[in-house]
Structure 1
Amino acid sequence: MRRFVLVLGTFTLVTALAAAACSQRSGPATAPPPSSVPPSATTTSAAPALPPESQPVAAGPCPYLATDFVAGANGQRVSEVKLSADHPHPACFFYDRAGNVQLTVRIYVGEPAVATALVNHAAPVDSSNPATEPTGWQGGYQQTGGGAVYAVAKQGVAIVVTTDQMQTVKARTVTKQVVSALGR
């Protein structure tokens, strides 16, 4: 009985010392080491401002996607195509027979940080799957509440394709065609 109490007492003492040591390490008593980086280098810049969402303003053919290609890739007939006023690459809006937008293609060319921010806005890094097609492009894809999105960027160019279909492969197929048409 005496050995049991002695072993139990030693175990309790060791446990208490270990707990005290751990609490001292994680407590506020230890200050972080001073930074060797000058204050001017540690300031972070604000996220780049995103351009406004593209809006359809006029009917016309999409300059980088044929209507029959979109119908085949997205699996629906296209009743109308409208373009945004964005230059030099207008966004293309493809409508179904009921007059609803079935597929949208948005292209941005400019600052790399803005291109990356547009892609992250459309397919957030935290919630989307990584997109690496076409080769050399990076971004994400995911299902959305009303379909799917495939968004990629490369060297200041962003391409965001949204579809009313739940299969992301449809948006990826269209994205690859847009990259090919742009010669990128």
Structure 2
Amino acid sequence: MRRLVLLAPAVALLAGCSATIVSGTAAPSPPSASTGTAGAELPPDPQPGRTADCPYLGSEVVAEANGQHVSKVRVSADEPHPACFFYRPDGKIQLTVRVYVGRPEIATALVNKAAPIDSSNPASDPAGWKGGYLSSDDGAVYAVSKGASAVVVTTNQKQSVKARTVAKKAIAALKL
């Protein structure tokens, strides 16, 4: 990206000198799912599927950590660790937990997608896990990876500590 920024003034200067179109100049490419994964595609974002209990995180744990009653839970079709979607009584999602186990570069890229390095605070809890957390008007995210594993928790609550608490519980239950 820095090369593009440095080339932009030179390209603009050259463009002003002649009517000839310079081919092969650097141009920004649209963001892709493979950014930062050395050519490997990121898996698609999980979608809520069937109604079922989360296999690695109980509704009572989420209700206590997030401070809201859980009215139902839906899980994605991802295997062996489905994403879990916890709903509040009004039918809206209050918290999601995504677990990825596979390639280290994809685990890191998933964390960076959820909590970009440039705009999030560094996270290192539990010990040995690294990533980021951030809060917005819509809620908070806590995303960490360790080796080939990643856990991303999003909540409708603005306090990232709630997402961190759930992430730690999921990591402990999965023994990642």
Q: TM-score range by the shorter chain?
A: 0.7 to 0.9
Q: Letter of the aligned partner of 2:157 in structure 1?
A: Q
CA RMSD of aligned residues (A): 1.4
Give yes or no for contact 2:65–2:162 (8 Å, CA) kept in 1: yes
Q: Letter of the aligned partner of 2:110 in structure 1?
A: L
Q: 1:46: how far off?
A: 4.0
Percent sequence identity over matched residues? 60
- Report whether the alignment pairs 1:92 with 2:84: yes
Distance 1:45 1:132 in 2: 21
Distance 1:92 1:168 in 2: 18
Q: 1:49: how far off?
A: 1.5
Aligned to 1:133: 125
Distance 1:45 1:102 in 2: 30
> By percentage of residues, which structure has more helix?
1
SS in structure 2 of the partner of residue 68 of structure 1 = helix
SS in structure 2 of the partner of residue 169 of structure 1 = helix
Distance 1:172 1:106 in 2: 13
Q: Which residue among 140, 146, 157 is the counterpart of 2:138?
A: 146
Q: Letter of the aligned partner of 2:69 in structure 1?
A: R
SS in structure 2 of the partner of residue 175 of structure 1 = helix
For residues 74-132 of structure 1, give each alpha carbon's deviation from its aligned partner in whole angstroms, at most 9, with x where no partner exists.
00000000000000000000000000000000000000000000000000000000000
Q: 1:183: how far off?
A: 1.1
Closer, same or farther: CA 47–151 of 1 in aligned 2, 3 Å? farther
In structure 2, list runs of 5 or more residues that go unmatched: 1-35
Q: Which residue among 156, 168, 171 is the counterpart of 2:163?
A: 171
For residues 119-165 of structure 1, give each alpha carbon's deviation from its aligned partner in whole angstroms, at most 9, with x where no partner exists.
00000000000000000000000013410000000011010000000
SS in structure 1 of the partner of residue 81 of structure 2 = coil
In structure 1, list runs of 5 or more residues that go unmatched: 1-43
Distance 2:66 2:96 in 1: 11
Distance 2:137 2:107 in 1: 23
SS in structure 1 of the partner of residue 45 of structure 2 = coil
Give yes or no for contact 2:37–2:105 (8 Å, CA) kept in 1: no
**Where does 1:1-184 land on structure 2 (aligned, <5 Å)?**
46-184=38-176
Give yes or no for contact 2:48–2:85 (8 Å, CA) kept in 1: yes
Distance 2:56 2:137 in 1: 27
Distance 1:56 1:163 in 2: 15
Larger Rg: 1
Q: After the TM superposition, which segments of 4 or more aligned residues of structure 1 sit over 3 Å from their partners? A: 44-48
